[in-house]
Amino acid sequence: MPRPESFAGDLPAGLVTPLRERVEDFIRYLATERGLSEKYQFNTRLYLEELLTWGEQRHALRDPGDVTHALITEWLAARKADGLSAGSIKLLIIAAKIFCRFLQARGFVARDVAESLALPRVDRHLPETLNEDQARQLLEAQPAGDDPYATRNRAILELLYASGLRVSELCTARLENLDLERGFIRVTGKGNKTRIVPVGAKACAALDRWLRVGRPAFVRKRTGADLFLSHKGGGRLTSHRVGVIVREAAKAAGLETALYPHLLRHSFATHLLANGADLRVIQEMLGHADISTTEIYTHVDQTRLKGVHKRFHPRA
């Protein structure tokens, strides 16, 4: 989605309208009261700034009360005419809805003008996954030995696949939240929600080796309690760096799949379902607030079953 033409921070002080001030209040609310991620805050600000810039240029939008259902509908129609996808339109509507709900709750407007906005139907694409042989190939191809980088990278791959963590959850994982003896890790996911996830035996072994052999080589005076460390000053690993580690590991293993961390999360869920795990249990381990998000994996599994049927049934 293109960047709005102007942000509140780019405007002279005299042009910061009451409505733009309410956007700032709202973003602070998302950060402090809702505990939502910086990425979520940034994207929501981006969508609202686009609405404000559009409204200022066409309707002299200035105050919270100037935001009407008709104005939002006109803006969405204009973005759709620009060729914006249904998925992107949905994100704009969600941003408008939660902002208008905030305005009403805080008494800035009398009613929520976005409440009746309908979300567009978005085709759900089946997530990419590795099959079980590919996952085994990836993990077994990782170098053994005591090299600190090798022990770290193997532990990262094993944990991503064994526990289905989001890359942000892996990067923020802390030593005190890992229980290797019982095989669990406590992570903080979307909406600042904490959950406990099982860690498999092979992942526990890889993590134990990293903690005993690899991690001490990365520790510096100011190193914190992050589970995984970068080589630069012993700081926390970034999501970008984890993505590079995963891609390089796939290449070294001879996999042609364009591998990324979230694909290992998809594979974790799909392989659990294929081997008989209950969907509600998978939902809990993935940290999905809504079971409908987890249900996408039932479609992946049906696709796999269809392929097996077609391959082996004599009249398929």
User: What per-residue confidence (pLDDT) applies to 276?
Assistant: 86
262 carries an active-site annotation? yes
Tell me which of 90, 190, 202, 241 is the catalytic residue.
190
**Upper half-sphere CA count for residue 264 (Cβ side, 13 Å):** 27
The CA distance from 143 to 165, in Å, is: 23
Per-residue model confidence as pLDDT tens digits over 66-88: 999 999 999 999 999 998 888 89
Query: Known catalytic residue: 190?
Result: yes
d(CA 143, CA 311): 35
The distance in angstroms from the start CA to the end CA of the chain is 44
CA atoms 265, 270, 276, 282: torsion sign: positive
Concatenating the DSSP letter of every residue in 82-130 gives TT--HHHHHHHHHHHHHHHHHHHHTTSSSS-TTTTPPPPP-PPPPPP--
Residue pLDDT, tens place only, 34-63: 888 788 899 999 999 999 999 999 999 999
Question: Token digits for 230?
Answer: 């970068």
| Structure confidence at residue 8 (pLDDT) | 41
pLDDT value of residue 316:
63
Q: Which of 69, 90, 236, 262 is catalytic?
A: 262
Question: Which of 20, 79, 152, 265 is the catalytic position?
Answer: 265
Structure tokens given for 50: 């686009």
Please state the rounded mean pLDDT for residues 14-30.
89
Contact between 158 and 202 (Cβ < 8 Å): yes
Catalytic residue among 45, 154, 166, 271: 166
- Is the pLDDT at 104 greater than 70? The verdict is yes
Q: What is the pLDDT of residues 282-304, one digit of tens each?
A: 999 999 988 878 888 877 766 66
Structure tokens of 137?
């190939």
Answer with the residue of higher pLDDT: 159 or 127.
159
Mean pLDDT of 265-288: 91
For residue 244, CA distances in Å to 106, 144, 224, 267, 272 come to: 44, 19, 23, 18, 26
Which two three-digit tokens encode residue 123?
């085709």
Alpha helices in the chain (DSSP H): 18-32, 38-59, 69-81, 86-105, 132-140, 148-163, 167-171, 201-209, 239-252, 261-274, 279-286, 291-294, 296-312
Mean residue pLDDT of the chain comes to 88
Nearest to 266 by CA among 304, 237, 238, 226: 304
Rounded distance, CA 247 to CA 252, Å? 9
The verdict on whether 161 is a catalytic residue reads no
- pLDDT at residue 4 is higher than 80: no
Q: Tell me the CB-side half-sphere exposure of residue 105, using CA atoms within 13 A.
A: 10
Residue 238 CB partners (closer than 8 Å, separation 6+): 171, 230
Mean pLDDT of 229-254: 91
Copy the structure tokens of residue 169: 């959850």
- Say if residue 166's pLDDT is above 70: yes
The rounded distance, in Å, linking the Cα atoms of 125 and 192 is: 27
- Position 66 scores a pLDDT of 95
pTM exceeding the 0.85 threshold for the entire prediction: no
Residue at token pair 């998809």: 266
